[in-house]
Amino acid sequence: MKTKPMTVAGIMSGTSADGVDVALVRIERRAGRPALTLLAHEGFPYPAALRRSVLGAMNAASISTAELARLNWRLGIAYSDAVRGTLQKHRVNVDLIGCHGQTLYHQGRPAAYAGRSFGCTWQAGEASVLAQEMGIPVASNFRPADMAAGGQGAPLVPLLDYVLFADRKRGRVLQNIGGIANLTAVPAGAGANAVVAFDTGPGNMVIDALAQELFGKKLDRNGEIAARGVVLENVLRAEMRNKYFAAKPPRTAGREQFGRAYAAKFLAICKRASSKPEDALATATALTAESIARSYKQFVSPLMRDAPVDYVVSGGGARNATLMAMLSTRLEPLGCELAASGDFGMPVEAKEAAAFALLAWYTWHRIPANLPAATGAKRAVVLGQVTYV
């Protein structure tokens, strides 16, 4: 299929709900596959009132339709502001915008509702607002097509992981640690159909919840508080018996599994085991590290065929020194060399936004972009919807 080079603005706002990342990416086809050049990237924190509204809507037991409609529109304005701010700073002409949206609910596996069983998902952020504000077409709503084809609608970033990181001689594991942690495994010399990807479990979600509850902080910056605590090993062992961690890929997770209700229960257990709040945060950090390492050992290591493995970490968790030290302790004995995605030319803050720039390019050219081996879909499908100016 004939394609044209494009400059695409990718937008990502993740399950941590801390703000919007924008990546400006030049994409063209070389030797039969897309090649990406990162031109610029910027991050924009959500205003406090908007973040409260997002967190209040996520997996809410009850919320009005008026509130949801207003939030959907307000997010479209926030995305417009973020793209405008990025373009004002970097003066790049953009052909297309790819917007993931803000996930408010994601149910990857079928469940009964109103007499039928199905999976469903919802990413908020009105694309029409973004398109009209910026005067640029927008590709958005990427997950539903995969789910309608029998997949879980996630993960979607593995396409970028394969395009950027596949190597003939070295295995690569791309570990993103946002609110939820997810990995993509690309064995040495593998084709796209051999890529394995799934959510490993909690990333920063439980850590952030405890930092807010115990210390009044948005996050545990650099893991400084956790570093002062002691991991409650009995609590960690008990939590690792959660059935999610034994489930075989493909699998997805979100606030439905590891959100406010889980964090409250986890904190109560930690308080019974120790009176020191630092210990609870250290144990939450170890939960993320242990679930990642166990996922690799159980489901990924056998695929790597004894090739050397680069374990490339991105997302906010890559900036948590305590978490990274815990990961190193667990993964290096398994033959992994830890690295950051920035070491490969893709800054940790830009990677997921760049992924949705790439997905938008695929959508624009009507090329299937899901990886059924990762999502569980019955077939490859074109993802997303285009909103024109």
pLDDT digits (tens, 9 = 90+) for 307-339: 899 999 988 898 999 999 999 999 999 999 998
% of the chain beyond a pLDDT of 70: 100
Q: Which residues contact 232 (CB under 8 A, 6 or more apart)?
A: 270, 273, 274, 279, 280, 282, 283
**Are the CB atoms for 206 and 266 separated by under 8 Å?**
yes
Q: Which residues contact 89 (CB under 8 A, 6 or more apart)?
A: 40, 42
- Residue 283 C-beta-side C-alpha neighbours within 13 Å: 26
> For 352-377, what is the mean pLDDT?
94
% of the chain beyond a pLDDT of 90: 77
Least confident span in 12-21, 177-186, 241-250: 12-21
Is the model's pLDDT at 253 over the cut of 90?
no
> pTM for this one?
0.80
Tell me what the pLDDT averaged over the chain comes to: 93
Is the model's pLDDT at 89 over the cut of 90?
yes
Quick one: tokens of 14? 């993740």
> For 41-68, what is the mean pLDDT?
92
Is the model's pLDDT at 32 over the cut of 80?
no
Q: Which of 29 and 278 is assigned the larger pLDDT?
A: 278
> For 239-263, what is the mean pLDDT?
90
Burial class (CB in 10 A: 0-12, 13-18, 19+), 148: middle
Which domains are assigned to the chain? Answer: 6-154+351-387 (3.30.420.40), 159-344 (3.30.420.40)
Report pLDDT for 219: 93
Burial class (CB in 10 A: 0-12, 13-18, 19+), 226: buried
Report pLDDT for 1: 62
Maximum Cα–Cα distance across the chain: 63
* 328, amino acid identity: S
**Backbone phi, psi, residue 272, to 5°:** -70, -25
